[in-house]
């Protein structure tokens, strides 16, 4: 139950004056549905204005407040703007310009001969001074005094800055004082204001200290919630699994394990031997060899008399894993089964029976393996592949399956930087496969100007002539979806003229059957060139595809480029990756592509990606889709998360039930940031 004193913050946005059905949509688009969301709707930046008495005191491009007197209204014929010619106290002329519907109100706001106070950006057009769409027009100067420093909020269609500012003010009026949840010594050291003061300051002014405090709150809430999951997990009863090695001895891997694989297996073996259930993340780039590590872990479980289940995000991946594991473990005599949503009737029944009576020791599948109808005789270990596809909720649900809590090994191929690993998987222990199996051919990566398209196409032609296949990746960005899709289809049409039936197209908006059919043709080698948007990121494995072209590569994040490139370089032939860059390349874009050429180390690319994206943030407003945070910026995450993480750990060590006064305050924090699943980890919480 949410603590009562937070209720005013969780009241529906409709309770604010002026929020009716019409504003609901645009507000929802901004994620503003409750009073709480408004107080955390922080400005992107502030407009600094200067009051000037005469036009010639102001600089071109400057945000000014100035008294001007309208002398003429000039409507355009047709669709042109509405112009209001005005004069300052010296008779110098400035034209106010309005487009569209604003023209009607402009006439009323600016009657001829009456002086008005105008706030806006002074521009020059030819040798005329002008202000396009003044931000404010007031009869009294006092009305503008509060606008010398004005917040600029993220908006959606149908909202204006003054409107948004007024709503935020109103919401702030509902914000109660809250007790302090941050360590007092830290507050003092950082000179942080209280929660409520920090919000006030952050809405009023560029105030990095206040913004830091608010970001820290969010980071602390996250760390705390994850840590509560961790300690609750530690308190659960699991079964110690001590494998005696008899199954592992029976299989002979076709290669020696890498040092990183041995180390990870050792860490897992140590965890499995404990009574409290394992909660471990195995992080390793594509091709780092996670499957064998998973196999060894599962064999340990089976040696100890338990069953193991491996969960994959898609049916294709489940099938691939099943085939791989069956081959690797063939000589062990272990019974392995595949269970997906596709299995029906008798086949499914017999697998369910096998799981129930224990004759199936390892099962691989999609989420179908955790449906209610599926019972296990003794499930000891759950392996989850591609962890980022599953939310915390699902992770917790998995843990409830057996009589005792099974050990859990999560695997992810997304190399994320250490700080973000902490943010996303802070409740888990981490093993890193930071060493690639030997003998990998480096992928020859080149950056090529988009204009050289003809050469690229000729290159593909030569490549396909050798019997090898190729990918052609087009960008697909959410904000730009329709345009991007059109571009991908246009590219496909052009390539089709060259290569005919050998080309197939796959994109996210296709019907699943059509997509599967196209993929299948490529996997079978009937199609030679696959044109795709980023859907190929997960789960395609075609060793014969050894060339990848990525169009407008500068539009992709480093991590994403890396994932894409990981689709080639899987066979014995040398692979090539061509990054086509557009004409206008920013400095960061240039650096990114250079890094791609320079390294194939996913962890290094992830760290650099974070550094490049987090750099140059002013107010820290640059959000990133791949973090669980809305208030904290990438830069703040890097700087403050490690502190929050330590602080959360200390707090739980001292007051694991969050019962003492700071602990009670921390409960409020968890609700405030909707990490209440953290509170639910507390017994009776």
The residue ranges that bind ligand ADP (CB under 6 A) are 255, 257-258, 261, 284, 286-292, 413, 437
Give kind and range of the element (H or E) at residue 130.
Answer: strand 128-132
Which residues, 6 or more positions from 268, have their beta carbon under 8 angstroms from its beta carbon?
A: 278, 280, 282, 293, 296, 297, 300, 409, 431
DSSP 54-82: SGGGSPTT-EEEEEEEEEEEEPPSTTPPE
**Closer Cβ to ligand ADP, 196 or 262, answer by number:** 262
DSSP 287-351: TS-HHHHHHHHHHHHHHTT-EEEEE-SSHHHHHHHHHHHHHHTGGGT--EEEE-TT--HHHHHHH
Min separation Cβ 573 and ligand ADP, Å: 15
Which residues, 6 or more positions from 169, have their beta carbon under 8 angstroms from its beta carbon?
A: 203
Phi, psi (degrees; rounded to nearest 5) at 152:
-115, 110
Residues in the chain: 685
Does residue 91 come out as left (phi exceeding 0), alpha (psi in the -120 to 50 range) or beta?
Answer: left
**Closer Cβ to ligand ADP, 256 or 391, answer by number:** 256
**Closer Cβ to ligand ADP, 50 or 440, answer by number:** 440
Contact in structure between 539 and 434 (CB atoms under 8 Å): no
**Closer Cβ to ligand ADP, 287 or 582, answer by number:** 287
**Closer Cβ to ligand ADP, 538 or 668, answer by number:** 538
Contact in structure between 370 and 401 (CB atoms under 8 Å): yes
Please give the DSSP secondary-structure letter assigned to residue 541. -
Map residue 654 onto helix, strand or coil. helix
Min separation Cβ 265 and ligand ADP, Å: 11
Min separation Cβ 323 and ligand ADP, Å: 11
Half-sphere exposure of 148 (CA within 13 A, CB side): 7
- CA 652, 656, 662: angle at the middle one, nearest 5? 70
- How far out from the chain centre does Cα 376 lie? 35
**Closer Cβ to ligand ADP, 413 or 632, answer by number:** 413
Bridge partners for 433 per DSSP: 284
**Closer Cβ to ligand ADP, 125 or 255, answer by number:** 255
Is 258 exposed, middle or buried (CB count within 10 Å of its CB: 0-12, 13-18, 19+)?
buried
End-to-end CA distance of the chain: 8
CA–CA gap between residue 522 and residue 542 (Å, rounded): 8
**Closer Cβ to ligand ADP, 96 or 329, answer by number:** 329
**Closer Cβ to ligand ADP, 96 or 286, answer by number:** 286
Quote the tokens at residue 52: 């000037």
**Closer Cβ to ligand ADP, 301 or 413, answer by number:** 413
Which residues, 6 or more positions from 215, have their beta carbon under 8 angstroms from its beta carbon?
A: 620, 629, 631, 632, 633, 636, 637, 640
Quote the tokens at residue 505: 């197209």
Contact in structure between 326 and 443 (CB atoms under 8 Å): no
HEC per residue, 553-598: HHHCCHHHHHHHHCCCCCCCCCCEEEEEECCCCCHHHHHHHHHHHH
Min separation Cβ 286 and ligand ADP, Å: 4
**Closer Cβ to ligand ADP, 85 or 413, answer by number:** 413
Distances (CA, A) of 243 to 108, 240, 296, 423, 519: 84, 10, 10, 33, 41
Dihedral sign, Cα of residue 60, residue 66, residue 67, residue 71:
positive
**Closer Cβ to ligand ADP, 104 or 255, answer by number:** 255
Q: Which residue has the tokens 């992107």?
A: 44
Min separation Cβ 587 and ligand ADP, Å: 33
**Closer Cβ to ligand ADP, 152 or 257, answer by number:** 257
The residue at minimum Cβ distance from ligand ADP is 289
Min separation Cβ 539 and ligand ADP, Å: 10
Min separation Cβ 263 and ligand ADP, Å: 12
**Closer Cβ to ligand ADP, 81 or 602, answer by number:** 602
**Closer Cβ to ligand ADP, 603 or 673, answer by number:** 603
CA–CA gap between residue 80 and residue 527 (Å, rounded): 54
**Closer Cβ to ligand ADP, 343 or 537, answer by number:** 537
CA–CA gap between residue 146 and residue 133 (Å, rounded): 19
Min separation Cβ 584 and ligand ADP, Å: 35
Min separation Cβ 324 and ligand ADP, Å: 7
Contact in structure between 333 and 251 (CB atoms under 8 Å): no
Q: What is the largest CA-CA distance in the chain?
A: 98
């Amino acid at each position: 139950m949410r603590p009562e004193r937070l209720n005013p913050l969780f009241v529906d946005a409709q309770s604010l004056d002026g929020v009716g059905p019409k504003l609901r949509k645009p507000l929802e688009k901004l994620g503003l549905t409750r009073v709480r969301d408004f107080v955390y709707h922080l400005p992107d930046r502030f407009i600094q204005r200067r009051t000037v008495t005469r036009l010639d005191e102001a600089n071109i491009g400057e945000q000014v407040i100035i008294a001007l007197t309208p002398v003429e209204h000039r409507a355009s014929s047709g669709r042109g703007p509405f112009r209001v010619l005005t004069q300052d106290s010296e008779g110098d002329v400035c034209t106010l310009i309005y487009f569209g519907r604003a023209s009607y109100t402009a006439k009323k706001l600016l009657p001829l001969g009456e002086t008005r106070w105008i706030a806006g950006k002074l521009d020059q057009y030819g040798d005329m001074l002008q202000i396009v769409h003044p931000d404010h027009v007031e009869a009294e100067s006092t009305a503008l005094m509060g606008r010398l420093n004005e917040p600029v909020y993220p908006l959606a269609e149908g909202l204006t800055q003054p409107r948004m500012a007024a709503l935020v003010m109103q919401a702030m009026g509902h914000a109660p004082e809250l007790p302090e949840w941050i360590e007092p010594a830290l507050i003092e050291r950082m000179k942080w204001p209280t929660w409520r003061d920090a919000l006030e300051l952050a809405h009023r002014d560029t105030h990095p200290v206040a913004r830091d405090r608010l970001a820290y709150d969010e980071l602390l809430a996250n760390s705390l919630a994850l840590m509560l999951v961790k300690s609750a997990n530690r308190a659960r009863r699991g079964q110690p699994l001590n494998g005696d090695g008899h199954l592992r001895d029976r299989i002979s891997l076709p290669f020696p394990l890498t040092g990183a694989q041995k180390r990870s297996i050792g860490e897992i073996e140590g965890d499995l031997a404990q009574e409290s259930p394992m909660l471990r993340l195995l992080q390793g780039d594509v091709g780092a060899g996670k499957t064998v590590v998973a196999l060894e872990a599962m064999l340990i479980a089976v040696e100890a008399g338990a069953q193991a289940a491996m969960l994959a995000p898609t049916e294709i991946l489940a099938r691939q894993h099943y085939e791989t594991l069956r081959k690797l473990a063939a000589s062990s005599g272990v019974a392995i089964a595949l269970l997906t949503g596709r299995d029906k009737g008798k086949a499914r029944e017999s697998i369910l029976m096998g799981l129930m009576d224990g004759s199936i020791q390892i099962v691989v599948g999609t989420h179908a393996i955790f449906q209610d109808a599926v019972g296990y005789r003794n499930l000891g270990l759950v392996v989850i592949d591609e962890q980022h596809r599953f939310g915390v909720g699902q992770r917790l649900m998995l843990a409830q399956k057996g009589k005792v809590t099974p050990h859990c090994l999560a695997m992810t191929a997304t190399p994320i930087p250490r700080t973000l690993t902490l943010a996303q998987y802070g409740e888990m222990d981490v093993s890193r496969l930071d060493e690639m199996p030997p003998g990998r051919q480096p992928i020859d990566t080149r950056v090529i100007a988009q204009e050289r398209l003809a050469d690229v196409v000729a290159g593909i032609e030569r490549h396909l002539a050798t019997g090898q296949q190729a990918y052609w990746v087009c960008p697909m960005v959410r904000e730009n979806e329709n345009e991007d899709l059109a571009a991908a289809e246009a590219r496909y049409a052009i390539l089709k003229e060259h290569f005919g039936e050998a080309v197939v197209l796959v994109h996210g908006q296709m019907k699943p059957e059509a997509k599967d059919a196209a993929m299948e043709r490529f996997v079978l080698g009937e199609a030679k060139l696959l044109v795709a948007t980023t859907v190929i990121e997960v789960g395609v494995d075609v060793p014969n595809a050894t060339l990848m072209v990525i169009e407008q590569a500068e539009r992709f994040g480093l991590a994403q480029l890396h994932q894409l490139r990981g689709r080639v370089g899987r066979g014995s032939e040398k692979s090539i990756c061509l990054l086509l860059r557009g004409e206008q390349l920013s400095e960061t874009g240039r650096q990114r592509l250079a890094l791609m050429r320079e390294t194939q180390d996913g962890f290094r690319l992830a760290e650099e990606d974070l550094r490049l994206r987090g750099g140059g943030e002013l107010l820290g407003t640059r959000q990133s889709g791949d973090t669980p945070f809305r208030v904290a910026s990438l830069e703040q995450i890097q700087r403050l998360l490690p502190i929050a993480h330590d602080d959360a750990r200390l707090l739980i060590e001292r007051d694991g039930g969050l019962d003492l006064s700071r602990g009670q305050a921390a409960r409020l924090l968890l609700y405030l940031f909707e990490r209440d699943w953290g509170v639910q980890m507390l017994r009776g919480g």
